[in-house]
Structure 1
Amino acid sequence: MRIEYLYRYPVKGLTAEALEETEVEARQTIPWDRAFALAQGDSGFDPAVPAWLMKTNFMCLMKNARAAALFSVFEPGTGQLTIRAPSGDRVSANALTESGRAEIGSFLITYLGEEARRDEAGNPPRFHHVPGHSFIDQKTKVVSLNNLASLRDYEGKVGGRRHRRRFRANIWFSGAPAWAEREWIGRELQVGGAVLRVLKGIARCPATQVNPETFQRDCDPMEELRRLYGHVELGIHAEVVEGGRIAMGDAIELLD
């Protein structure tokens, strides 16, 4: 097996950024993955005590399909985050500073319009970055891996393309039979220079309804997977147990 695609998603719900390589640490996500998020005003998220919250407390594709139309680029060396709307309107600011996050948050609130929720006191959403905290959908910091053969099998049976970016995985790999990954729960994988332990399958949510090319909800992968396979899983979540370098083309080996 080998890595065919490697991604991070710096802003929760926004653009995938392709990577040539990265360095992962034990019990951490891929660096800068879901490092930023717009917390809805009624989320109760406190950056001083950054507890995990469900995705619906943030701007996310499950609730905010129009976020798929935003194009974002993050530069870790400078902290500069640029977000561009389909209209051509854009914001570019240092997301590692409070003033920069306030500017980015204001842009996103305006873009979301009525989908930007306030709390009972009228406080608006806020754009956050908390060093060491990741706004991933799981309480445990994980890396997500998807099997290209499983996607192809699913596409063949449903009779249409389901773009891989719907499923927002960190790693897409080849070389394993379709759905073989469902038998790896509890097993360890050598992924490049790192070792990952598979925790569970990824149960898909309505975020996958959003077409990353048209930005519209045009199908229901949850319903399709349930009808075709009797489950709603596509991909696996794994925890890094030994850190190391991971790169495009690296081998993936199932360990004894």
Structure 2
Amino acid sequence: MTDELKVVRAGFAPIKGTRHLAHDRLVLDDLGVVGDRGFALVSVDTSAPSRGRVLRTVQHPSLVAVRAEVAGGGLEIELPGGETVSAEPVVTGESIICDYWGREVELELLDGAHSELFSRWLGRPVRLARARRGDVVFAGAVSMVTTASLADLARRVGDEAALAAARFRPNLVVETEEPYAEDTWLGREVQVGVARLRIGVPIPRCAVIDIHPETGERDVRLLKTLASHRPLNRAGEPAFGVFAEVVAPGVVG
């Protein structure tokens, strides 16, 4: 029997590292959330133009202050000051091999005003690139956290307002009564909307959770708090939430 979970928030960011936005409706296919991190920003190696590196949020926290949304056939980005670009990225026919957390992915380089705006915002030259479905995902197709675990962490840090779910960038927030009940779900199939997921491994957390999910400023020490009471992986990263794979595609919301 498959357990049915109540989803209280669903979301994603179309450009890796930009603000994690709530959505009323998510489409899940075999590879995960449609539209989730379909684009990334890359730093091109000037000494080897066919190679580069995907920008990491933990090294460029100001990215989370930027709103990005797919609108029709175009991509709209908005900086905190209100400057926007809304256009369809220009396909160049170029590709680049990028390092992404120790593995290589091939991305399609794009031209247009998006790259120029991000370069000005970050103070360094970057390019917008597009990934094949599933390529710019760290592990697991769908990320999930639970309401009881969020509430427990808020109690431990003494600041409920600091624990906006977007800080953890989950695709799904599901309702639970017991903190960390998700630790017991590994390998279990669950129903969300009309889709079915198989729970995989715990999500290891890094310092990204210490930055405000709208400004990018470091404001709380959640990582240290998590590490004080949660299981650690070999790299010393504490677990919070779980990854899941899509067993039966469908719509959530």
The normalised TM-score by structure 1 is: 0.79
Aligned to 2:67: 71
Structure 1 residue ranges without an equivalent (≥5)? 48-52, 117-123, 248-256
Separation of aligned partners in 1, 2:111 and 2:177: 42
| 1:227 to partner: Cα distance | 1.2
Cα distance 1:45–1:236, how it changes in 2: closer, same or farther (>3 A)? farther
Aligned AA (1:246): V
Q: What are the Cα deviations for residues 158-193 of structure 1, in whole angstroms up to 9, with x where unaligned?
A: 211322111000000113411000111111112221
Aligned AA (1:153): D
Cα distance 1:29–1:205, how it changes in 2: closer, same or farther (>3 A)? same
Separation of aligned partners in 2, 1:244 and 1:172: 17
Out of 72, 77, 82, the position equivalent to 1:83 is 77
| 1:88 to partner: Cα distance | 3.0
Aligned to 1:151: 150
Q: What are the Cα deviations for residues 62-104 of structure 1, in whole angstroms up to 9, with x where unaligned?
A: 11111122122221xx222121222333222213744974321
Separation of aligned partners in 1, 2:65 and 2:28: 29
For these two proteins, the number of residue pairs brought into alignment is 225
Aligned to 2:246: 240
Aligned to 1:22: 26
Out of 40, 54, 59, the position equivalent to 1:37 is 40
Cα distance 1:9–1:18, how it changes in 2: closer, same or farther (>3 A)? same
- Checking the alignment, whether the CA contact within 8 Å between 2:157 and 2:225 is kept in structure 1 is yes
Cα distance 1:230–1:17, how it changes in 2: closer, same or farther (>3 A)? closer
Aligned to 1:121: none
Identity across the alignment (%): 28
Separation of aligned partners in 1, 2:8 and 2:208: 23
Matches within 5 A, 1:1-256: 1-26=5-30, 28-42=31-45, 57-75=53-71, 78-95=72-89, 97-98=91-92, 101-113=111-123, 116=124, 124-138=125-139, 140=140, 142-160=141-159, 161-231=162-232, 232-247=238-253
Q: CA RMSD in A?
A: 2.5
Cα distance 1:132–1:61, how it changes in 2: closer, same or farther (>3 A)? closer
Q: What are the Cα deviations for residues 230-250 of structure 1, in whole angstroms up to 9, with x where unaligned?
A: 541111000001112222xxx
Larger relative helix fraction: 1
Larger relative strand fraction: 2
| 1:131 to partner: Cα distance | 4.1
Cα distance 1:46–1:244, how it changes in 2: closer, same or farther (>3 A)? farther
Aligned AA (2:67): F
| 1:133 to partner: Cα distance | 4.3
Separation of aligned partners in 2, 1:200 and 1:133: 17
Separation of aligned partners in 1, 2:114 and 2:183: 39
Separation of aligned partners in 1, 2:190 and 2:111: 37
Structure 2 residue ranges without an equivalent (≥5)? 93-108, 233-237
